[in-house]
Amino acid sequence: MLPNKIINNSSGDANMACSQSENGFVSSFSLFPEKAVQELLQSPVQGSDDHLIEFSETLRTVAKALRRVAEGKASAQAEAAVWKHKYELERARHQQFENRGKSCPELQPDHDDMRTNNPINRHTLCNETKERSERCCSRNGICSHEVLRDGSPDSDSKMIRKASFKLSWCCKGDQSDQQKHDIVSFERGNITTAQRSSKQISLKWESSPQTVLILTKPNSVSVQILCAEMIRWLRQQKELHIYVEPRVRVELLVESSYFNFVETWKDDKEISALHTKVDLVITLGGDGTVLWAASMFKGPVPPVVPFSLGSLGFMTPFSELNHTSDSEHYKECLESILKGPISITLRHRLQCHVVRDAAKNEYETEEPILVLNEVTIDRGISSFLTNLECYCDNSFVTCVQGDGLILSTTSGSTAYSLAAGGSMVHPQVPGILFTPICPHSLSFRPLIMPEHVTLRVQVPFNSRSPAWASFDGKDRKQLEPGDALVCSMAPWPVPTACLVDSTNDFLRSIHEGLHWNLRKTQSFDGPRES
C-alpha cells in the first residue's frame, strides 16, 4: 500500500494528468504528480525487502508460466507438423495406388461386359476379378479376404463380413511401410501376439570371421599374458587379423617383435570406421571392459564375446580364465563361437542429448551420447535437493525432488538402479527404467517405461542449484536451470555372446554375482501341521 501522505497529496493536486498511451492503456506513472513521486523515492518505505522478495517470486512464477506456454505451443506445432506429414504420405500412397490401377489394365473390370445382361458373363467376370484381386493383395501381405472366410465349400455365399485390419510395430519417424515389423497376427478376427521378445536369438555366420578386436582391462599382468597367448593362437591356428588398442600394441611389442602384425588405430576418425573392419570383439576384463567396448562404437556394434577377468560379471558369462591351469578353455570357447551358431543377447542402449536453454529448438543439441547401463542426473556437490521436471512424449510425468534420477536400460537394471531400489529386469525385455535416487516422498516408486518413448528431464528455472548428468559413470556434464536431457532408445544394440542362452546367463549372474535369495534351508525337524 502507498503511504497516506502520498495519497493525500495526489488527491489534492490539480495538475495531475491522466495521459493515455497510443494503444489505449493509461500510463501508471501519470496517475501520480511529480512531487508525490519524489517524496515516495526520498521517504523510506517499510518492509521494502519483503516486497522485493515477493515481487521476485512473482516474476519467477510468471517466467515459469511463460515457459510452459512456449513449450505447449512448440509441442502443438510439432504435432501439427507430424499430422501434416502423415496426411501427405497417405495422400501420396493413395495417388500411387490410383496410378498403379491405371497402369495395370488387368485389374480394371471390363465395363462393356458388366453392362451386358448375360448372367453367365457376369458370374465369370466376378470370379476373374476376385482371382485378380487375390493375386494383387498377396503381393502386399495378408489381406482380409484370406482370413474372413468360414472355411465351407461354398465360401462365396457364406462370407463373414468384418472390417479388415492390420496391426504392426514401427519406430518413430519411419517414412515407409517397409521398415515396419508385424507383432500380431490374426485369423478370423482373433488377434494373437507374435512373441517377438520371448524367443532366444541365435547368430549364424554366413561367412567366417576374418578380423577380431581384443580389448583388455589395463594394469593387469595376468590379462596381458593371456592376451598375448590368445593373439598368438588366433594368428597361427585361425589366421585372423587382430586389432588391439594402441596401449596394448606397445605392450606387445615391448615383449616381442613377433607381434608386428597386430594392427591398431591412430585417431577418432579410424575408431568411427572400426565397425566396418571388425567382425568380432573379445573383451578380457569385467563389466567395465564391456562398457568401454560399447562406448567405442557410436553406431552398429559387432558381436561381443566377454570373458570374465574382473570383479563384476553380470555381462561376462564366460568363466574366469587362468593361463596356467585352464589354457585350453578359451580355445574351446572361441572354437565354438567362430564356428557358430551361437546364442546372443541384444543389450539395448540409450541415446542421450543435452539441450541447452540457449538452443533455438530441440534439434540444436550437443553430440549424442550412447550408454549401455544408465544415465544419472544428481545434485552433485550441492546441499540442496535436486529439482527435475520429467516428461514422457510431451506428457508430464512427475517432478523429482531428492538426490537425483536414474534412467537405466534393462542391462543396467542390476547396477546403480538396483542399488537405488529398482527392479531386476531381463536384459532382452525392451524398456527404460525410471528410478529415483532417495526421493523426498515415500510414495515415489520406480517405473518401467516402454522402449519407444522419449523421456525429457529438465532443470526448472526456479531450481535452487544446477544438476549434474553422468553417462555410464563418465562424461559428467552440468545442467543449468533451463537445460534439459532427452533420452530415447538407440537403434544399435550391443550383441553379446551367451554361454548357454540369455535367460540361463541372466539367472546365473544374479545367483552368483548377487547371491540372490540365498539363505539357509528351513530345518525339517521343526513343528508340523497335524
- Going residue by residue through the chain, which has 530 residues, state the pLDDT in tens, using 9 for 90 and above: 444 444 444 444 444 443 444 444 444 444 445 555 455 445 554 556 778 888 888 888 888 888 888 878 877 877 787 777 778 777 877 777 777 666 555 445 444 444 444 544 545 545 555 555 444 444 444 343 433 333 444 444 444 434 444 455 454 444 444 444 444 555 555 555 555 544 688 888 888 899 999 999 998 898 999 999 999 999 999 899 999 999 999 999 999 999 999 999 998 889 988 888 999 999 999 999 999 999 999 888 999 999 988 777 888 898 755 444 455 788 989 999 998 888 889 999 999 999 998 877 767 777 899 999 999 999 999 899 999 999 999 899 999 999 999 999 999 999 999 999 999 999 989 899 999 999 999 999 999 999 999 999 999 999 999 999 999 999 899 999 999 999 999 999 999 999 998 999 999 999 988 889 998 888 888 788 87
Long-range contacts of 152-158 (CB under 8 A, 24+ apart): none
Residue of 211, 249, 292 lying closest to 474 (CA atoms): 292
DSSP notation for 100-115:
HHHH-GGGS--HHHHT
Grid cell at residue 373: 547401463
Task: Write the CB contacts of 484 (distance below 8 Å, at least 6 apart in sequence).
Answer: 354, 355, 456, 457, 458, 459
Q: Are 350 and 487 in contact (CB under 8 A)?
A: yes
Coil/strand/helix, residue 121: helix
Distance in angstroms (rounded) separating the CA atoms of residues 515 and 411: 18
DSSP H/E element including 90? helix 48-103
Strands (E), 250-349: 280-285, 304-308, 342-347
Pairing of strands 304-308, 342-347: unpaired
Q: Are 452 and 436 in contact (CB under 8 A)?
A: no
For the chain, state the CA radius of gyration: 34
Supply the pLDDT for residue 163.
Answer: 47
pLDDT digits (tens, 9 = 90+) for 376-388: 999 999 899 999 9
Grid cell at residue 251: 605392450
Beta-carbon neighbour count of residue 349 at 10 Å?
24
Q: Are 160 and 148 in contact (CB under 8 A)?
A: yes
Q: Are 478 and 455 in contact (CB under 8 A)?
A: no
Side by side, which strands form the sheet with 494-497? Answer: 201-203, 342-347, 494-497, 304-308, 280-285, 211-216, 241-244
Phi-psi category of residue 138: left, alpha or beta, with phi > 0 → left and psi -120 to 50 → alpha: alpha
Whether pTM > 0.85 for this model: the answer is no
Residue of 278, 268, 225 lying closest to 248 (CA atoms): 225
Phi-psi category of residue 82: left, alpha or beta, with phi > 0 → left and psi -120 to 50 → alpha: alpha
Residue type, 50: D
Distance in angstroms (rounded) separating the CA atoms of residues 74 and 80: 10
Grid cell at residue 466: 544446477
Q: For residue 96, with 0-12 CB atoms within 10 Å meaning exposed, 13-18 middle and 19 or more buried, which class applies? A: exposed
202-345 under CATH 3.30.2350.10, yes or no: no
pLDDT digits (tens, 9 = 90+) for 400-410: 999 999 999 99
Q: Are 333 and 486 in contact (CB under 8 A)?
A: no
287 classed as catalytic: yes
Structurally, at CATH architecture level, domain 350-492 sits in: Sandwich (2.60)
b/e 390-404 (16+ beta carbons within 10 angstroms → b): bbbeeeebbebebbb
List 13, 110, 287, 393, catalytic entry: 287
Q: ∠ CA(18), CA(22), CA(23), 5° rounding?
A: 100
